[in-house]
Structure 1
């Protein structure tokens, strides 16, 4: 990506009407409009359904292997977004991995505070296993809050005695709701998308009276021993950089097979800009290679 392309993307994000900390109803509508403005490829099918009572959207592309599945968790600071809004990025992941994706429409805060999102994620995975899909044929992928939710769900599965999926990939994970990472201030000037104030507002809405250091809310503080192999991708120009770095360090300390990729000069969840950024295309390809390598035949 050229410097001009990076500057153009930064300007686009900085001048977007969306503000993660703004009035919730308005921001939910803007978030949806912003994502819905990008058309899906004609060969992508998105089918709403339910999994263990949890609303989901199954995303398929031509030639997908039906025996394996990516369980996908959208972003939105636990307060915005939906499985439907995530179809574009979920479809890109599914196409590259060569399987179908099932995007989980977990309940949002503040209407449904912690641990509702974790409970829904576990319920969806339980149902997938009950339907006959082996855990070895399931991979988790999540973006932003959905990335933090992926890791929290892995911890919850371990605590419940359920098998881990084959692997997990997280894009720009929000993994510390105490907001104690140095990059919250150190990267504030270069992050065109997120603000510490906005995240603080959404953390309060999600947590309610819960301690923000609770491991299932902030997995940077969790015991990660025994978790599935984990790939963490993050941009160097985002305030959540330290969440990713500290999560990777903790996973390594707890003997998780973890890989951290810090992509220079790109923003939060840059993977969603594969049509614009060479880095996004390369990162998604890397994520697909990682995921396929951990299938039983990988």
Structure 2
């Protein structure tokens, strides 16, 4: 974690694990997913995998965070609905590069914001995007979903009405149980298939 470790440390770590898995598994049988910062990291490491010439995993899931920067209404309305910290502080919008981890990252670079590069996105594997509609990252997921669809990447977006950031960490919610089923179904359907 920052400040001891900064971008691209996490992408390098996940890439190392992915390469180790490739010694025993076909990439079509490997899925990568994460929530919040992990959702962002999932998109970033997928870009890292592509940029380093490795074969992509069979499917990925970016939950409550993804490969484009925070934007849209959700980042501004989160404090109103959820009592959270404003994503815009002092009139300056929060961007990934304002987070200490990205102190060595370049805003708009392929490794930080892969969703800004259609030529990179078209190489992404099937992608599941999931969040609550009152998640400050919800707008960024809708943007990423449209961009994936525009370049022909099979993708699914689920927004759970009225729910907050990382809502499915509360396993008691019926919506969390539904989210788990959707996630399991998506990876079951997409892993082990032929590569695009």
Q: CA deviation at 1:185?
A: 1.0
1:220 aligns with 2:115: yes
Which consecutive unaligned segments of at least 5 residues does structure 2 have?
none
Indicate the SS of the match to 1:170.
strand
| Alignment map for 1:244-255 (pairs within 5 Å) | 244-255=141-152
**1-side partners of 2:54 and 2:123: how far apart?**
11
Q: Residue 238 of structure 1: CA displacement?
A: 1.5
Partner of residue 80, structure 2: 189
Find the aligned partners of 1:172 and 1:201 in 2 and give their Cα distance. Answer: 14
Distance 1:268 1:202, change over 3 A: farther
Q: For this pair of structures, how many residues does the alignment match? A: 188
Q: Is the 8 A contact 2:66 2:144 kept in 1?
A: no
Does 2:14 align with 1:118? no
The 3 A distance-change label for structure 1 pair 110 and 287 is same
**Bigger Cα Rg:** 1
2:44 pairs with 1:152? yes
Question: How many Å separate the matches in 1 of 2:86 and 2:60?
Answer: 26
Q: Which residue of 1 aligns with 2:103?
A: 208
Post-superposition CA distance 1:36-56 (Å, at most 9, x none): xxxxxxxxxxxxxxxxxxxxx
Query: CA separation in 2, counterparts of 1:237 and 1:211?
Result: 28
Q: Does 1:139 align with 2:37?
A: no
Give the RMSD, CA atoms, in angstroms: 2.3
Which residue of 2 is the match for residue 279 of structure 1? Answer: 175
Query: 1:174: how far off?
Result: 4.7
> Secondary structure of 2:72's match?
coil
Contact 1:186 1:239 in 2 (8 A): yes
Q: What is the CA-CA distance between 1:203 and the residue it aligns to?
A: 3.6
Give runs of aligned pairs for residues 55-74 of structure 1, distance below 5 A. Answer: none
CA deviation map 1:40-79 (0-9, x unaligned): xxxxxxxxxxxxxxxxxxxxxxxxxxxxxxxxxxxxxxxx
Unaligned residue ranges in structure 1 (runs of 5+): 1-107
Task: Return the alpha-carbon distance in structure 1 between the equivalents of residues 169 and 146 of structure 2.
Answer: 25
Q: RCO (CA 8 Å, sep 6+): is it higher in 1 or 2?
A: 2
TM-score, with structure 1 as normaliser: 0.58
Describe the superposition over 1:88-107 as per-residue Cα deviations: whole angstroms up to 9, x where unpaired: xxxxxxxxxxxxxxxxxxxx
For the residues of structure 2 that align with 1:259 and 1:219, how far apart are their CA atoms? 18
Aligned mates of 1:216, 1:201 — CA distance in 2: 12
Give yes or no for the alignment of 1:127 onto 2:3. Answer: no
